[in-house]
Structure formats: structure tokens, C-alpha cells
Amino acid sequence: MRIAILSDIHGNRHALEAVLGDAHREDVDEAWCLGDLVGYGADPNACVRLAREHCAICLAGNHDLVVCGTMPMDDFSRNAAVAARWTQDEMDLENIEFLRRLAPDGIEGEIGLFHASPRDPIWEYVLSSALAERCLDVQEQRVALIGHTHVALSFARDAGSAVDGQTRHGGDAVSMASGEWLVNPGSVGQPRDGDPRAAWLLLDTEAWTASWRRVEYDIDAAGAAIVAAGLPSSLADRLQYGQ
């Protein structure tokens, strides 16, 4: 099966529509979302509606759990909290209730799914090989998909060897036919790895390959919507730089 792996959409409708269009052109069978559908961006309802329509699997991220009231806002930065409160006011009850039904982790066949990490599916930022090693030690599935850091990454370990961590760019592809893997598609709606284009991952579970994709979208329009909504302008600015 060819699966589009999406994560960290963050209310960015323009980015999500571009990614869904790219995934459609790649003729994927399904799309799975690793969470953070909302928070930061100006179109949370549209993003939740699109995810409900297009994603066979959807996890909850920390922002989703805060916005739907499952978790307190205490650990959020100022901008994240401002955006979360705005999102709570903006969202339709039906979409809030959809978020309430989501879990931050799941299993699909041989693949573990976690918003953040196998050790802590809600909060842990897996950005180093040292941390990835601890995650692989507890990971029950050979392959796990994670989001949360907004950085496209792969961590791989063959029996008896050290973890190989790589940042991943659009066009990178790997074979995952052997070894243990922890893979991050990067962020659809707020990339933080210096490439402002929307990120997603094409996973082929028959060939066991993963291909990182980047797609252009209308960053100016997404930023203008953030400013027009009265959200902090820094949330619009960072989209231009992918930081």
C-alpha cells in the first residue's frame, strides 16, 4: 500500500491542500495524519474537515489535546497559548468533538504511530540519535512514525550497530526493508528545518520504502490569514523561513 504520511498541519489550509494535491498525483491509497491538526494557523476548521475527509488514520497531537480541553495549557509558550485560545473560540463543536476522540498513538499492522515518540507520545522531541536509541529500545514495532519536532528525519538501527540519524530533504528516499526505523515526515503547516515548503512522506509498505516530499504552497496567503485573524504576526513570519 502507498500511504501519504502527514503531520503537524497546524491550521494551515493552504499547505494541507497542496500536500493532499501532491499525494493525489502520487496515487496514494491512503493518508495518515500523526497529529497537531490545529494550533498556530488560521484555518483550524477547514484543516480538521479535510483530515476527516482524507485521512484513514488520525492521531491527536499536544496542540489538539489542549484545544479540545483534554490537556491543560500550562506547558505552552506564550504564542502557542494565544493561538490555542483563539482556536478554541474559532472551532465548530463538531470538529472539537472529533479531536476529543483521537489518541496520540496507535498501531497499524507492523507500524507504530506516535505524535511525539514511542516513550512519550505527546511531548518528547526526538531530535538526536541518543534519544532515538532509547525510543528504539522500547519500540515494539520494527518501524515507527513520529511527528512533533516539525523536522524531517530518519533514525535507523541494524542489529548490533549504532543508530544512524539523518535529517531528510525533499527527494530523499530510503529502503526500510531491514533494521529498526523511527521516521519523521516533517511538518505540513509549519516546517522548522529551514525549508519553508510543506513536508510529507510517501510510505510504500510493500516495497518498504520511504520518500520525503516537499511541495510549494501559497505561504503569503497562509501568513495573511494569520495576520487577518489577529494572531501573533511572528506566526506568519516564521512560515516564510521554515523556522
In the complex, which residues of this chain contact Zn ion (CB under 5 A)?
A: 8, 36
Whichever of 39 and 112 has its CB closer to Zn ion, that residue is 39
H helices of 4-92, in order, are 13-25, 44-54, 62-67, 78-90
Whichever of 80 and 143 has its CB closer to Zn ion, that residue is 80
Beta carbon of residue 62, minimum distance to Zn ion (angstroms, whole number): 7
Beta carbon of residue 108, minimum distance to Zn ion (angstroms, whole number): 21
Beta carbon of residue 157, minimum distance to Zn ion (angstroms, whole number): 25
Q: What angle do CA 120, 185, 1 make, to 5 degrees?
A: 105
Three cell numbers written together for 57: 488514520
Whichever of 9 and 136 has its CB closer to Zn ion, that residue is 9
Beta carbon of residue 47, minimum distance to Zn ion (angstroms, whole number): 12
Beta bridge partners of 165: 155
Pairing of strands 111-114, 143-146: parallel
Whichever of 104 and 106 has its CB closer to Zn ion, that residue is 104
Beta carbon of residue 8, minimum distance to Zn ion (angstroms, whole number): 4
Beta bridge partners of 202: 4, 211
CA dihedral 39, 40, 45, 49 (to 10 degrees): -70
Distance between CA atoms of 75 and 45, rounded to whole angstroms? 24
Residue nearest to Zn ion (CB): 36
The helix/strand/coil state of 110 is: coil
Whichever of 8 and 105 has its CB closer to Zn ion, that residue is 8
The helix/strand/coil state of 2 is: strand
